[in-house]
Amino acid sequence: MRRRLSGMPPPDLVLVTCIMTYWYQGAGEIVRLVRALFPRAKIVVGGLYVSLCEEHARRHLRDADLLVTNGDMGRFYAFLEETFSRPIALKPLQADLDSFPLPAFDLYDRRHFVPLLTSLGCVYDCPYCAASYLYPRQVRRAAGGVLREISYWCNRGVSRFALYDDNFLFRAGEFAKPLLAGIARMTFDLSLYNPNALNASLIDEDIARLLASAHFKEVRLGLETIDPSAQRATGGKLSTRAFETAVDQLFRAGFQKSSIRAYVLAGLPCQPHEDVRKTIDYASDLGIRVTLNAYTPIPHTEMFETYHSLARYPIADEPLFQNNALLPFAWEGFTEGHMNELKRHVRERNAGAGP
Q: Is 279 helix (H, G, I), strand (E, B) or coil?
A: helix
DSSP 8-class letter at 141: -
Q: Is 82 helix (H, G, I), strand (E, B) or coil?
A: helix
User: Residue 237: what pLDDT?
Assistant: 86
Which CATH architecture is the domain 97-351 placed in?
Alpha-Beta Barrel (3.20)
User: Residue 62: what pLDDT?
Assistant: 95
Paired with 115 in beta bridges are: 162
pLDDT per residue over 301-326, tens digit each?
999 999 999 999 999 999 999 999 99
State phi, psi for 350 to the nearest 5 degrees: -65, -40
User: Residue 290: what pLDDT?
Assistant: 97
Q: What's the pTM value of the predicted model, to 2 decimals?
A: 0.92
User: Residue 256: what pLDDT?
Assistant: 94
Q: How many CA atoms lie within 13 A of 178 on its CB side?
A: 11
Domain positions in the chain = 2-84, 97-351
pLDDT per residue over 142-151, tens digit each?
999 999 999 9
The amino acid sitting at 302 is: E
**Mean pLDDT, the chain, integer:** 95
DSSP 8-class letter at 158: -
DSSP structure string for 308-319: GGGSSS-TTT-G
CB-CB contact of 52 with 298 (8 Å): yes
User: What CATH class does 2-84 carry?
Assistant: alpha beta
User: Residue 71: what pLDDT?
Assistant: 83
User: Residue 354: what pLDDT?
Assistant: 64
Helix (H) or strand (E) holding 223: strand 219-224
Sequential pLDDT tens for the chain (355 residues): 999 999 899 999 999 999 999 999 999 999 999 999 999 999 999 999 999 999 999 999 999 999 999 889 999 999 999 999 999 999 998 889 999 999 999 999 889 999 999 999 999 989 999 999 999 989 999 999 999 999 999 999 999 999 999 999 999 999 999 999 999 999 999 999 999 999 999 999 999 999 999 999 999 999 999 998 888 888 888 999 999 999 999 999 999 989 999 999 999 999 999 999 999 999 999 999 999 999 999 999 999 999 999 999 999 999 999 999 999 999 999 999 999 999 999 999 999 866 6
User: Residue 229: what pLDDT?
Assistant: 86
Encode 262-282: b = buried (16+ Cβ within 10 Å), e = exposed.
bbbbbbbbebbbebbbebbeb
Residue 206, burial from CB neighbour count under 10 angstroms (0-12, 13-18, 19+): middle
Q: How far apart are the first and last CA of the chain?
A: 43
CA pair distance 5, 187, nearest whole angstrom: 41
CB-CB contact of 76 with 56 (8 Å): no
Q: How many CA atoms lie within 13 A of 175 on its CB side?
A: 14
User: Residue 235: what pLDDT?
Assistant: 81
Q: In the chain, what are the helix, strand and coil shares in percent, each to the nearest 5?
A: 45, 15, 40
CB-CB contact of 149 with 134 (8 Å): no
CB-CB contact of 115 with 149 (8 Å): no
Distances (CA, A) of 228 to 21, 44, 94, 235: 31, 45, 36, 11
